[in-house]
């Protein structure tokens, strides 16, 4: 019997499935999909602008493609031949160019024939868990029918080998071999990763964040759990002055101003002029960029250092203004310009005086240290406008809002970048925001609400508060995406004492081996402790010092292993990826990626080691996933629709002949 409240929904469903037969066909289609093996999920965190390493991981499926090649050809190919085939799959255009130049046209055609045959075998092996409908959706229309024919078993064809060879010969004779090989290689890459989870921090440090974002926008299936560095950029793109200053400061620190100027078309000349005017005679030694001098930005390190110092001082002034504006954020202890004795060159920190390493503050008014000078004010107005008017930046940030969130529950796993802020006793930290007090999941939810208001609210006051909350998320000790007791920006620039520069991790990181604490987190987010996991990044795992990414017997996985080159000397590796497929979960530790040129020329791959986290004795199917639950619900709805058609509650809409 159809209830009245269901009729409206079923009528909407009938617009898509207008007859009993079409509804029945969809039920059969969905039911068959439920029994397929679960798709492979890849988890990666803390990309930090390392485009080449990131894309290589996507291309090789964290080593899964090389393993499929090895399984398919076993003893039929040598190790060198397997490496060559894997390299072709990762970089088809580059490999084709090299091979074509090495021999005659006949040699190249023969190589193409052999390669297409091998690629089809790999594709067939990888396509076994996908429906024909999904394969078609992943294939350009030009080659859709050809690939479908080559992948089909064709048991009814008397001599299948001749049939397949005739198709391949036709591809070569029509001059489409190169294009076909590229399409098949990209299809294999697509099939290797059914869903990509980016666990935060796409931006900062490396110079390739713009390219990473472009790649993610084109990616077939991706979600993003925001990192604190992402939030800083998002706040800047929403018009937060202090986030704009912070983003520029970090780009200057890592000699990465080209991301702003070349990547996003943001004009830094107003800041450059201010820096030369106010700090022209200042060596700004403490502000020289990290790393070796380059010409990425077209500036010398001396010039960048002046820009770096100019924007750092502006940021500290804006932090002071925000602290006064939002006392509930409790950030008064993290501002220092009012604690400096400028005549003596000392600053008071935690009740004790320390000598400053840099005593030149030409733009600071001692009577009102957090006020921007008129020149700084004009400069910031121009910079904020430049961020707001950067079409590419705004498009990238829109994507982060549409595909991203503070946390995500997906297929029974809880994903977030940082932590659950906790006290040493395991109690969730309580945070006052607006008119309420929040902790645990509610804190995550409230912070996301305010971040979205910063982007979308038409209420100027809510928008402004949301912008300030984004600064809270970026740098506050109670922020789940920051997860440390303080951000020691001032101390790193102006003090010698190493102890003052230490940033201590939240108690969460020392409690995640306590099963009772982890069970509380699972319960807070409605996760099944027996089958679920927590996956987060943010804090580099110092593998070389004996730290482990695996906690609480595999229930908590920290997957920041140092994809960013800036961290690899600390971690001892070059990143982690986590792979979840129908057979379980594997943690993959990566070695440094050299270059695309080296990978193609020398058929080099990222060497990796794999740790089994979870093994499923019963292979998981689509029915066991979130998507499977949606499909089961749809099947039940379609059954109700069929009943409504049969009972006459809703009429079928047959097309006219």
What is the per-residue pLDDT across 75-124, written as a single tens digit (0 to 9) for each?
A: 899 999 999 999 999 999 999 999 988 878 888 999 999 999 999 999 99
pLDDT tens digits for range 487-512: 999 999 999 999 999 999 999 999 99
Asked if residue 451 has pLDDT above 90, the reply is yes
Q: Are 513 and 548 in contact (CB under 8 A)?
A: no
Residues 300 and 314: their CA atoms lie apart, in Å, by 22
- What value does the mean pLDDT take over residues 130-155? 83
Asked if residue 533 has pLDDT above 90, the reply is yes
pLDDT tens digits for range 573-626: 677 889 998 888 888 887 777 778 888 887 777 666 777 787 777 889 999 999
Burial of 533 (0-12, 13-18, 19+ CB in 10 A): buried
pLDDT tens digits for range 257-270: 999 999 999 999 99
Whole-number pLDDT of residue 657: 43
* pLDDT tier at 655, thresholds 50, 70, 90: low
Q: Are 631 and 29 in contact (CB under 8 A)?
A: no
Q: Which residues pair with 407 in a beta bridge?
A: 416
- What value does the mean pLDDT take over residues 141-170? 80
CA distances from residue 327 to 245, 319, 469 in whole angstroms, order as listed: 21, 12, 12
CA distances from residue 494 to 17, 289, 489 in whole angstroms, order as listed: 68, 15, 9
pLDDT tens digits for range 16-70: 999 999 999 999 999 989 998 898 999 999 999 999 889 988 998 888 898 899 9
Element (DSSP H or E) covering residue 609: strand 608-615
Asked if residue 654 has pLDDT above 80, the reply is no
Whole-number pLDDT of residue 517: 97
Residues 405 and 412: their CA atoms lie apart, in Å, by 17
Asked if residue 387 has pLDDT above 60, the reply is yes
Domain edges within the chain: 4-35+626-647, 58-192, 228-403+423-475
Residues 385 and 237: their CA atoms lie apart, in Å, by 10
268, 301, 271, 272: which is closest to 286 by C-alpha? 301
For the chain, report the end-to-end CA distance as a whole number of angstroms: 32
Could you tell me the pTM of the whole model?
Answer: 0.92
- What value does the mean pLDDT take over residues 307-327? 97
pLDDT tens digits for range 6-18: 788 899 899 999 9
Q: Which residues pair with 197 in a beta bridge?
A: 43, 223
Q: Which residues pair with 579 in a beta bridge?
A: 42, 586
Residues 6 or more apart in contact with residue 386 via CB below 8 angstroms = 266, 267
Whole-number pLDDT of residue 309: 98
Tell me the percentage of the chain whose pLDDT exceeds 90.
Answer: 72
- What value does the mean pLDDT take over residues 541-560? 87
């Amino acid at each position: 019997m159809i209830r009245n409240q269901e009729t409206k929904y079923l009528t909407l469903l009938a617009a898509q499935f207008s007859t009993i037969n079409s509804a029945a066909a969809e039920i059969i289609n969905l039911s068959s999909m439920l029994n397929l093996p679960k798709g492979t999920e890849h988890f990666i965190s803390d990309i930090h602008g390392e485009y080449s390493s990131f894309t290589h991981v996507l291309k090789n499926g964290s080593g899964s493609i090389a393993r499929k090649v090895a399984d398919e050809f076993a003893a039929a190919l040598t190790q060198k031949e397997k490496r060559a085939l894997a390299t072709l799959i990762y970089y088809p255009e580059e490999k084709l160019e090299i091979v074509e130049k090495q021999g005659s046209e006949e040699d190249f055609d023969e190589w193409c024939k052999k390669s297409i045959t091998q690629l089809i075998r790999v594709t067939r092996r990888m396509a076994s868990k996908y429906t024909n409908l999904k394969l078609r959706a992943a294939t350009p229309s030009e080659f859709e029918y050809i690939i479908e024919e080559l992948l089909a078993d064709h048991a009814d064809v008397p001599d299948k080998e001749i049939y397949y060879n005739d198709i391949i010969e036709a591809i070569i004779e029509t001059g489409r071999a190169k294009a076909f090989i590229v399409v098949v290689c990209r299809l294999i890459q697509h099939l290797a990763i059914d869903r990509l989870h980016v666990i935060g921090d796409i931006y900062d440090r490396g110079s390739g964040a713009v390219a990473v974002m472009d790649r993610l926008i084109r990616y077939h299936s991706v979600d993003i759990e925001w990192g604190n560095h992402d939030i800083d950029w998002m706040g800047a793109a929403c018009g937060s002055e202090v986030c704009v200053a912070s983003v520029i400061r970090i780009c200057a620190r890592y000699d990465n101003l080209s991301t702003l100027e070349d990547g996003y078309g943001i004009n830094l000349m107003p800041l450059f002029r201010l820096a030369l005017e106010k700090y022209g005679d200042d060596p700004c030694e403490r502000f020289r960029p990290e790393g070796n001098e380059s010409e990425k930005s077209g500036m010398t390190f001396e010039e960048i250092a002046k820009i770096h110092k100019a924007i750092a001082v502006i940021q500290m002034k804006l932090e002071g203004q925000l602290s006064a504006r939002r006392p509930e954020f409790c950030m008064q202890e993290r501002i220092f310009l009012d604690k400096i004795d400028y005549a003596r060159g000392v600053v008071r920190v935690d009740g004790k005086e320390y000598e400053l390493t840099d005593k030149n503050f030409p733009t600071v008014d001692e009577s009102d240290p957090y006020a921007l000078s008129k020149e700084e004010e004009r400069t910031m107005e121009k910079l904020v406008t430049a961020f707001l008017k950067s079409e590419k930046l705004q498009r990238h940030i829109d994507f982060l809002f549409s595909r991203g969130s503070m946390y995500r529950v997906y297929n029974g796993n809880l994903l977030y970048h940082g932590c659950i802020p906790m006290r040493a006793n395991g109690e969730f930290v309580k945070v006052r925001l607006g008119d309420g007090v929040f902790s645990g999941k509610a804190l995550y939810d409230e912070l996301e609400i305010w971040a979205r208001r910063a982007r979308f609210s038409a209420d100027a006051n809510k928008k402004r508060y949301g912008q300030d909350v984004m600064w809270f998320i970026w740098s506050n000790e109670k922020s789940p995406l920051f997860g440390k007791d303080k951000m020691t920006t001032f101390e790193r620039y102006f003090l010698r004492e190493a102890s003052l520069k230490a940033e201590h991790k939240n108690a969460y990181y020392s409690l995640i081996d306590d099963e009772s604490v982890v069970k509380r987190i699972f319960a807070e987010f409605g996760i099944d402790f027996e089958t679920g996991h927590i996956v987060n990044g943010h804090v580099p795992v110092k593998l070389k010092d004996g730290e482990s990414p695996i906690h609480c017997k595999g229930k908590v996985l920290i997957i920041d292993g140092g994809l960013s080159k800036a961290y690899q000397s600390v971690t001892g590796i070059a990143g982690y990826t986590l792979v979840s497929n129908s057979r379980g979960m594997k943690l993959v530790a990566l070695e440094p990626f050299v270059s695309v040129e080296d990978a193609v020329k020398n058929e080099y791959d990222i060497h990796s080691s794999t740790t089994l986290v979870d093994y499923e004795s019963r292979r998981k199917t689509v029915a066991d996933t979130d998507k499977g639950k949606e499909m089961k619900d749809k099947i039940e709805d379609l059954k109700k629709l069929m009943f409504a058609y049969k009972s006459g509650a809703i009429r079928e809409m047959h097309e006219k002949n």
